[in-house]
Structure 1
Amino acid sequence: MYGARIFPSIEQIVNRSIVRAFRTQVTPLPKPQSDFSHKTVIVTGASSGVGKAAAQQFARLGAAKVILACRSTEKGEAAKRDIESAEAAAGVVEVWPLELGSYESIKAFCSRADKLDRLDVFVANAGLMSAQCEYYEGYERQTFVHVIAPILMVLLLLPVMRRTSEQTQSLPHHVIVSSNGHMYTKFLPGKEKSIFAAVQGDRDMRLRYYDTKLMEVFAVRELAARVKASKKPLVVVNMVDPGFCQSDLMREKGWELPIRIMMGVADKILARSPDSGARTYTMAAEAGEQSHGMYLEDCSFSTPSPMVDTEEGRELQKRVWDELMEILNDTAPGAVGNL
């Protein structure tokens, strides 16, 4: 059961998001100019939306291989054709199946990636926003996709990215896609001993996306601290917020009509194009060591929710990490050993 909240309704969160979007999204973001020649990039959730746009930008910027990690290979192949046609990038894009709701699929995907000659960029873009409670591997879907899956993939991909750094004298990047929605919620586990137990069940499902995005911020910050303090060479881990973008994030059933109308109007008036939202991804993918553990938005360095750096936030961060490592030790013990 949840404890106290700062904002009890999704309407307040949406309204605040729209106000923030009005302030920030009217300013055009710079087009990416970086050179990704010879580099290999993986983007999850790349069959549509911002993920597809990011993959297209990496291809446009000269990447040697862009891997679209997709649940639907049919949609992935369609995205591949679009990207290769638009960027005259024949032979650059590959489609690999990935079911982010399955430990076995994640492990198989990362095992395949470990055999790559090099891996320079991993963008954990996939996400969902659901008002219905369903489960992956015994955990509510948003908790699994936003917290468990991306951290597991980062850990499993660390060896190939460290080898890449050693062999090419480059600085590989893990780019974890966050959301400013994490700033508008504050959950406490209440009587639950486990934070992950507190986000099970169908209580407060309308806020679950925001809760899990806050948990993700905690997990990525702790991960970055541990990666930097552990084995060399350094692999950069950072977070990005693409802003309010045109997407199918709210494709799931269960959202009330007023929320759908509100978001539909905001999407038409304020939402960035997927290409504009993806520009912060490509910026973060070459931002350098100074971006390690940082939060980026609007193609610049920013800060996450102020509560993250409070005593309460630091305590929650440690608890999220410790519980997450227990979960992963049970399902993929070798992954935790990669730190």
Structure 2
Amino acid sequence: MTFGDFVSEQRANLPIHVTPEACGGKTYIVTGSNTGLGLEAAKHLVRCKAKKVIIAVRNLEAGEAVKAEIENVTKIRGVAEVWHVDLADFQSVKDFAKKATESLDRIDGLIENASIALDRISIAEGYETTITINVLSTFLMAVLLLPKLSDTAKQFGTTSHLSIVVSAAGFAFKEPFDKVKDDFLRKMNSPTNANMGSRYPVSKLIQIFAGRHFAKLVPIERTGVAVNFVNPGLCKTGLSRHGRFLNRLPIVGMGLVLGRTPEMGSRTLLHGAVAGKESHGCYLSVCEIREHQLPSWVSDEEGQKQGKIIWDEIANVLEKIEPGCLSKIL
């Protein structure tokens, strides 16, 4: 994509795909929905007559404030619920998934929006925190909730959706994936090898590589679940708030000039949550399937091999966190 194409897409007035007809009576989970894109997506879902919208957040106080805001704006009460989940804690993710599976009568859409961008290394659950949150916990939640999503699709004769929010920024970082080695996720813990300036986009690229292989393992014809990967574009959000000021400055500056509003960016998430069956395994951007925008080194045969290697390593970690979780979906 040229810079001109990027600017044109950033300035596009994106459509709103969610409607009361599409969302009425359905249940959605939106992670990281106490701010930014997740908050705006939750508002739209409540406004479109969803039966239940789970605001999945680490900070319950912030979540309750968001719930009050949503109810005040939409004038609809009793739909938004605040649930705790900390993606830096695998047990918290497991507890959340167990609660959702057992207490919700249906899950029609899981929007995995929560991510973190750090510029200093830290460790959570034995892995660099960005990898723990953006990669391992994101896929752990996907694997644990896929059976409920599938049951919902089969019970109600619908298509459920599992949307992971990725980023085109990852396509600028091919080099770390030229030769993926065993245990590469844990090797990213090393302070001497960790380039934290690129860690966030690299984590998003890992999501795309691994997620596309994961989607092949859970075909929509068998599960009834459309698994897709949504690029929201450059948005004016607080994603870089954990970074140091000088590191944040270029991102904030670019966002001020070309960034979408959180509401406009949220429309891409909503598209992923209602997209057709043909979106399964696909890269979505500007509220369209945009497979042609994937670099060839991601989509070609070699890229698919890399995706399998990356997914297999993630899968090994997931099996250690929750033994037997993959056998329930594969």
Question: Normalising by structure 1, what TM-score?
Answer: 0.90
Which of 66, 69, 86 is the matching residue for 1:79? 66
Relative to structure 1, the CA distance from residue 213 to residue 233 in structure 2 (aligned partners, 3 Å threshold; closer, same or farther) is closer
Long gaps (5+) in structure 2: none
The answer (yes or no) to whether the contact 1:189–1:195 under 8 Å persists in 2 is no
In structure 2, the partner of 1:199 is 188
In structure 1, the partner of 2:224 is 234
1:223 aligns with 2:217: no
One-letter amino acid matched to 1:95: V
Long gaps (5+) in structure 1: 1-15
| 2: CA distance, partners of 1:53 / 1:102 | 25
1:69 aligns with 2:56: yes
Specify the SS of the correspondent of 1:79: helix
The answer (yes or no) to whether the contact 1:71–1:99 under 8 Å persists in 2 is yes
Whose helix proportion is higher, 1 or 2?
2
| 2: CA distance, partners of 1:312 / 1:197 | 23
How far apart are residue 193 of structure 1 and its match? 3.2
The answer (yes or no) to whether the contact 1:21–1:270 under 8 Å persists in 2 is no
Worse-matched range after superposition: 311-320 or 33-42: 311-320
How far apart are residue 329 of structure 1 and its match? 1.1
Give the alignment of 1:1-339 within 5 angstroms.
21-34=6-19, 35-115=22-102, 116-186=104-174, 187-188=176-177, 192-202=181-191, 203-228=194-219, 232-254=222-244, 257=246, 259-303=247-291, 304-339=294-329
One-letter amino acid matched to 1:271: G
Specify the SS of the correspondent of 1:290: helix
Relative to structure 1, the CA distance from residue 201 to residue 338 in structure 2 (aligned partners, 3 Å threshold; closer, same or farther) is same
How far apart are residue 192 of structure 1 and its match? 4.6
Relative to structure 1, the CA distance from residue 81 to residue 166 in structure 2 (aligned partners, 3 Å threshold; closer, same or farther) is same
The answer (yes or no) to whether the contact 1:162–1:234 under 8 Å persists in 2 is yes
Q: How many residues align?
A: 321
How far apart are residue 216 of structure 1 and its match? 0.7
Cα RMSD over matched residues?
Answer: 1.9
| 1: CA distance, partners of 2:303 / 2:230 | 19
Relative to structure 1, the CA distance from residue 127 to residue 33 in structure 2 (aligned partners, 3 Å threshold; closer, same or farther) is closer
One-letter amino acid matched to 1:162: S
| 2: CA distance, partners of 1:168 / 1:234 | 11
| 1: CA distance, partners of 2:302 / 2:213 | 15
| 2: CA distance, partners of 1:17 / 1:141 | 33
Question: Normalising by structure 2, what TM-score?
Answer: 0.92
Specify the SS of the correspondent of 2:274: coil
The answer (yes or no) to whether the contact 1:51–1:125 under 8 Å persists in 2 is yes
One-letter amino acid matched to 1:25: Q
One-letter amino acid matched to 1:60: R
Superposed CA offset, 1:256-292 (max 9, x none): x2x4332222222211111100101111111121110
Worse-matched range after superposition: 91-100 or 296-305: 296-305
Specify the SS of the correspondent of 2:265: helix
How far apart are residue 200 of structure 1 and its match? 2.2
| 2: CA distance, partners of 1:336 / 1:33 | 31
Relative to structure 1, the CA distance from residue 18 to residue 87 in structure 2 (aligned partners, 3 Å threshold; closer, same or farther) is farther
